[in-house]
Structure formats: structure tokens, C-alpha cells
Amino acid sequence: MLRNKSLLLMVSMLLLLALFLANCGGMNRYSSYISKTQTDGPPPSGFNPNSVKHLTLKQESQSEYGNAAYLIDNSIYIPRSSAKGYSQTGIASWYGTQFHSKLTSNKEKYDLYALTAAHKTLPLPSYVKVTNLENNKNIIVRINDRGPFVNNRIIDLSYAAANKLGFANKGTAKVKVTAIAPYSYPINKYNRKSNNYYSHKKSVESFTLQFAAFHKYQNALNYKTKIKKLFSKYNIKFNPKINKEKKNNIYLIEGKVKNISQYNKVKNLVAKNSLTPPFISKINTKK
């Protein structure tokens, strides 16, 4: 009798395992959605429209933080020197409780009740008019953060802004974003009489690429010799170097390129020869 119960239990467990494996595909389809709803969303106690903070437009200088060229997922973003003339149509999204009270890119605290937004390249701060092309509602928001870093999205609005535009429940909407005055200006580089704008930001001089990292110097030297021969074979002038990172006691194979075109050329050549492609580890700038 005990033996039969054990056999029955084993068969039941195998059936459950088969059902689990059969449904794994379906579970994975919703994993990103589940993750998002568990980490971000509207205020848990409900959204009070009367708590939305009034936005006052004012002339400002560009922030000390968040206006330099930066790197996200091996992609380079170079902020504009002025928002003047900017206009773009695309998909808007919003962010809420997960980021409430956390610092934005220009070191201000994100407030989901404030009419603010994140943009990849507009100066911080900037004012833009956002029009929901699906219902023709529009508002003005202040850009004080960087993002969104999701394909086909051009702006990430605060929850309050998305609510006013009528797509908070939907999550995304097709919008038109247009920069409006007053345009922020680089610190100490604005002539009020002539209304001229001068960029004080550092320009990108080159990009540092990292090819590999080794604990032993001889292994690093062998790898450097290997890729140096590869570049020489294809008549590419590129001379990677070995730099020791003292903090982790490792040897890095690194080299510099002047632009993204050169980076893609080097990356594609390395990948074509079955080696791990390099990634951009640093943006080198000059005034």
C-alpha cells in the first residue's frame, strides 16, 4: 500500500513538472510586464489630481549635472547646447512610484506630482510642449532627467503629466514634443542683449574601447599581439595598449577611436574574426 502511494506521488510530481515546462513559454511572455507592475506604478492610495503642482516657466541656466555626453548600453548620447528649434513626434511613456523622491540626472528630486519629464538629449532644464496626438490634449513640462532608454520612445513623463495627457492608464501614447521658450543657457555664456547662446560644454574628443581584461600580464600581452596583427592585416591603424587597473589588479586591453564610425569599423572586424567585440568604456572630452 505504501509502495503504491509512493508511486502515485511520483507520477503526480512528474505530471506537475510536465505542466510547468509546457507553460514556461507563456510565463516568460509576461515576465517583463510582471516585473514592471511590481516595481513601478501609480500612487498605491490613488491619484489626486488636485495635488498636481503648478509649473512656472522661468529663465534658467543649464544644470551643472546631466548636460555632459554620456554612455548607456554602449550607446553615446550628446546633449544639445540649446533646445531652440527642437520638435519631434514619437512614443511617450511615464514613470511613477519607483522613482518618487529619487534624484534625477540634474540632482533634483523626482516628484510624480510635478509636471516634469526625462529626455535623452535636450538641455537640463528645458521646457517643452507635449501634445497627445490620440486625443489632442497638451501640457507644458520641464525636462530635468535623462531617458527613456527604450526603443522608439522619445520622452518619459511624470505620472502627473501622463495623467493630464490622458494616457496614464494606457501606459504609452503617440505625442509631439516641441521645445518652447524660455530656453536654458550655458552658465556664464549668455548674452541677454543679443540673445545669443554659446556652448560651454566639453565636446567629445575620442572614445576609449576595452577589448579584454586579464589577471596575468602575459595573457594580456598575447591578446594584444593577436589583435594588433589583425588590425595590421587589414591595414587599420590602431594600436591597443595594456593598462593596469590597480583597484582590481587586472590588465586591460584598451584603445581609442575618434568617432562612432571608427568604433563600428573596429568592432565589426573583431567580431568577424570570432573575437569578443570591444565596448566603449569611457567618453573623452575637451573644451
Q: Between β-strands 87-95 and 153-158, what pairing exists: parallel, antiparallel or unpaired? A: parallel
Q: Out of 146, 173, 197, pick the residue that ends a domain.
A: 197
- Considering the domain boundaries, does residue 277 fall inside one? yes
Q: Where are the alpha helices (DSSP H) in the chain?
A: 2-29, 31-39, 159-164, 217-233, 260-272
Asked if 188 and 209 sit in the same domain, the reply is: no
The whole domain housing 159 covers 49-197
Asked if 137 and 269 sit in the same domain, the reply is: no
Asked if 193 and 221 sit in the same domain, the reply is: no
Query: Of the spans 42-51, 60-69, 119-128, which averages the highest pLDDT?
Result: 119-128
Answer for the pair 64, 276: CB distance below 8 angstroms, yes or no. Answer: no
Q: Per-residue pLDDT averaged across 145-155, rounded?
A: 94
Q: Between β-strands 173-180 and 153-158, what pairing exists: parallel, antiparallel or unpaired? A: unpaired
In angstroms, the CA 237 to CA 230 distance is 11
85: three-class secondary structure by DSSP:
coil
The pLDDT-based confidence of 110 (bands split at 50, 70, 90) is: very high
Asked if 210 and 184 sit in the same domain, the reply is: no
82: three-class secondary structure by DSSP:
coil
Q: Out of 160, 180, 197, pick the residue that ends a domain.
A: 197
Specify which residues 91 forms β-bridges with.
153, 174
Rg (the chain; Cα; Å) = 26
Q: HSE of 99 in the Cβ direction (CA atoms, 13 Å)? A: 25
The 10s digit of each residue's pLDDT in 214-231 is: 999 999 999 999 999 999
Answer for the pair 116, 156: CB distance below 8 angstroms, yes or no. Answer: no
Specify which residues 241 forms β-bridges with.
254
Residue 64's alpha-carbon distances to 72, 125, 128, 265, 286, in angstroms, are 20, 10, 20, 34, 16
Residue 111 has pLDDT above 70, yes or no: yes
Residue 261 has pLDDT above 90, yes or no: no
Q: Out of 197, 222, 257, pick the residue that ends a domain.
A: 197
Better-predicted residue by pLDDT, 85 or 76 = 85
Residue with cell 506537475: 16
- Considering the domain boundaries, does residue 10 fall inside one? no
Kindly report the average pLDDT of the chain as a whole number.
83
- The one-letter amino acid at 80: R
DSSP letter, residue 103: B
- Considering the domain boundaries, does residue 103 fall inside one? yes
In angstroms, the CA 65 to CA 79 distance is 12
Asked if 146 and 223 sit in the same domain, the reply is: no
Measured at the alpha carbon of residue 130, what is the angle toward residues 128 and 134, in degrees to the nearest 5? 170
Report how many domains make up the chain: 2
211: three-class secondary structure by DSSP:
strand
What's the predicted TM-score (pTM) here?
0.69
Asked if 54 and 193 sit in the same domain, the reply is: yes
Residue 74's alpha-carbon distances to 71, 243, 256, in angstroms, are 6, 21, 15
In angstroms, the CA 105 to CA 72 distance is 13
Answer for the pair 43, 98: CB distance below 8 angstroms, yes or no. Answer: no
